[in-house]
Chains A and B, each alone.
Chain A
Amino acid sequence: MSDTLFKKILVANRGEIAVRIINACRLLKIPTLAIYSTADADAVHVRMADEAIEIGPPPPLESYLALDKIIAAAKSFHCDAIHPGYGFLAENPLFPERCEEAGITFIGPSAKAMRLMGNKVEARIKMSGAGVPVIPGMKGAGADLRTFEEAAHEAGYPVLIKAAAGGGGKGMRVVHEPEELQASVEAAMREAKNAFGDDTVYLEKYLENPRHIEFQVMADNHGNTIHLFERECSIQRRHQKIIEESPSMALTPALRAQMGQAAVRAAETAGYRNAGTVEFLVDKNGGFYFLEMNTRIQVEHPVTEMTTGSDLVVEQIRIAAGEKMSEYLFRASQRGHAIECRVYAEDAENNFFPSSGNILYYEEPVGPGIRVDSGVTGGTKVGVEYDPILAKLIVHAPTRDLAIAKMIAALGDYHILGIKTSRKFMMDVLAHPEFKAGRTYTDFIPTHMQDREVDVIPAVETAAAAAALAMMKSAKPNMTAIKATTPSPWQTIGAWEIGMRITK
């Protein structure tokens, strides 16, 4: 390759996804510019990129969400493309618009497709019109209580009130009885107004115990739109996915083909380009319904990469540069089984309270079919300013049973000291008989893990036994020295107790 696809790419993100994008750019021999807030001056993505620029203080609004600063940085460093990653500005239609004005390629869909899919009500109408099944309910936003009552009656209780601008469970209410409808609509409107500045809500049938199954789509500027099969993401905690896998246990070849076609139709109808994900809910009878389309690379994209043998970020860059997507994608099939676990900095044994501090020791699991996408390493300071995702652990094996076993072993071999992570919790989920049986529904965590109790004493004794030997030998240092850092806030706060309640 004499000429690269782009002269330089600005990576408008942080953490593991910034590292992932930089690695893809390296394969394509494209230089990268990292951006960072002062909290991330020493972060892995900053060290890895060819160049890096500080763009502001830790609050996201002043750094990773500061569109003007990011565009200015791209110009002054002569970047001709920007990759947004996920989160932050990735799904803000102003981002591609501002890039276009500045003559910079945005690696993602058009502002128009983003806007359409960003509005849940409009997307629903458009998809329904194109023959993509949607959950029975209102065709548009509810004007008055009467329209809600009629729609609820038609769909049948229980029903779900949702915010048009919504996401993350905010402005969402399940209504079981007609008497609760008015109060729930009003509450959902208030919540939506607070969370999104828009009180538009609508109503649809509430599916009990659905599975969350999404299809990866890719579309280029040469008239090709394809799908790369499904990912099942039913294991969620507070509407956040924590474990994803492919293939899904719930899909027959016929249903898979049908849903794949619907996903392609959804992307085509939206005039979609680049990588995207069409999310569906699947009910117990194999009925599937369009939920939403995510107009970005997903956190869980490695699951698809492992099963189809693809590199989606490389393809994103090729497509954005105007190339046709790679030939191999047209022949892609699902091979074996892949599972991803998101490693969050949180204390699963203490109500998932966020954990911060310095990583004192860091060692990733290695072996055939084991992949770690990480934004941290030994010595990394983990703050509380950003999403607590540290890394993703992905395994690939010939069968689901082997993938589960490999994941449990790999989580045990993933050593992170200094901050708490949710690894043990995920091991318990994976080892649960219901998970092993493939009975994964979106209520899995509240149903099966709520009463989880961990008997720590055997582990404490095991740790004490190892420590006793370590201390006996401690005359000679037994660990790679990591430079002394300031104590974590948890160590210096004085005695305190958690009186946790979520503020509105």
Chain B
Amino acid sequence: MIQQLLYQDTTLDASVEPNGNGAEVSIGDRKYIVKPLSSGKYTVELNGVRHTVCCMVRDGKVFADVEGMLLELTIPSEDGDMAGGDAGMVGEKDKIYAPMPGKIVKLLVKEGDDIAEKQPLVIVEAMKMENQVNSAANGKVKKINFQNGDQVNTDTPIIELEIAEE
């Protein structure tokens, strides 16, 4: 059984051979011996070195803690689309939200503007850091719900877009 996982741009093909209550998992030319340790925890052994991994599968994603390093992997769904997608790509592309509650420092577009994918749309300040929010698609600015200096939370879109048909 082959299980495919995505980490950023890297695709990992894991070939799983069940063995008792564990499995042998081959990725590339490396063979990992995986055994359940306790609920949600596994030991993963490679070349005699054993690591403890805490991992959970949720909403098409794998959240894993490999000895202090937190990783997020995506499980591709069967029709080829990404089930969850990258963290930054999950939201509706036609609605632009603040990354965290904060203040709008500068709107970089106005209603009616044509915009391109990755074009900066707005700068939001939170925790004294400025965060630039970019468009995820080509299209047009349909509506802007806030002004410079407004406080925003994360549940009302700052900008609504009309996405161009591909």
Interface residues of A (CB under 8 A from B): 58, 353-354, 356, 360-361, 363, 383-385, 411-421, 423-424, 426-427, 454, 456-457, 459-474, 478-480, 487, 489-503
Contacts and interface: CB of A to CB of B under 8 A. Distances in A.
A472 B65 contact: no
B133 A470 contact: no
A238 to B, nearest CB: 12
A361 B95 contact: no
Nearest to A417: B63
A495 B71 contact: no
A495 B23 contact: no
Given A460-B10, A487-B90, A495-B134, A465 B27 contact: yes
B65 A503 contact: no
A490 B91 CA distance: 9
Given A418-B63, A462-B32, A493-B98, A472 B1 contact: yes
A467 B57 contact: yes
30 contacts: A354-B126, A360-B58, A360-B63, A383-B100, A384-B100, A411-B68, A415-B41, A417-B65, A424-B70, A427-B68, A459-B66, A464-B14, A464-B25, A466-B53, A471-B57, A472-B3, A473-B36, A478-B39, A478-B40, A478-B56, A489-B97, A494-B96, A494-B133, A494-B136, A495-B136, A497-B132, A498-B132, A499-B120, A499-B131, A500-B131
Given A468-B14, A480-B40, A500-B129, 17 more contacts: A58-B101, A353-B129, A361-B65, A383-B100, A384-B100, A384-B101, A412-B52, A415-B41, A461-B28, A461-B30, A463-B64, A464-B14, A493-B99, A495-B135, A496-B133, A498-B132, A500-B130
B56 A468 contact: no
A469 B118 contact: no
Contact of B51 (A385, A411, A462, A471): A462
Contact of B75 (A456, A471, A494, A496): A471
Contacts, number: 228
Nearest to B70: A420
B14 A413 contact: no
Interface of B: 1, 3, 5, 7, 10, 12, 14, 16, 18, 22-23, 25, 27-28, 30, 32, 34, 36, 39-42, 44, 46, 51-58, 62-71, 73, 75, 87-93, 95-102, 105, 117-118, 120, 123, 125-136, 154
Contacts of A356: 100
Contacts of B5: 464, 467-468
A461 B27 contact: yes
B44 A479 contact: no
A169 to B, nearest CB: 13
A468 B16 contact: yes
Q: What is the predominant secondary structure among interface residues of chain B facing chain A? A: strand
Nearest to A411: B68
Given A465-B44, A500-B130, A456 B18 contact: no
A471 B129 contact: no
Nearest to A489: B154
Contacts of A454: 69
Contact of A412 (B10, B40, B68): B68
A421 B92 contact: no
A353 B120 CA distance: 19
Q: Chain A CB within 10 Å — which of B68, B73, B96, B123 has the most?
A: B68
Contact of B52 (A413, A469, A492): A413
Contacts of B42: 466, 469-470
Nearest to A421: B70
Nearest to B71: A463
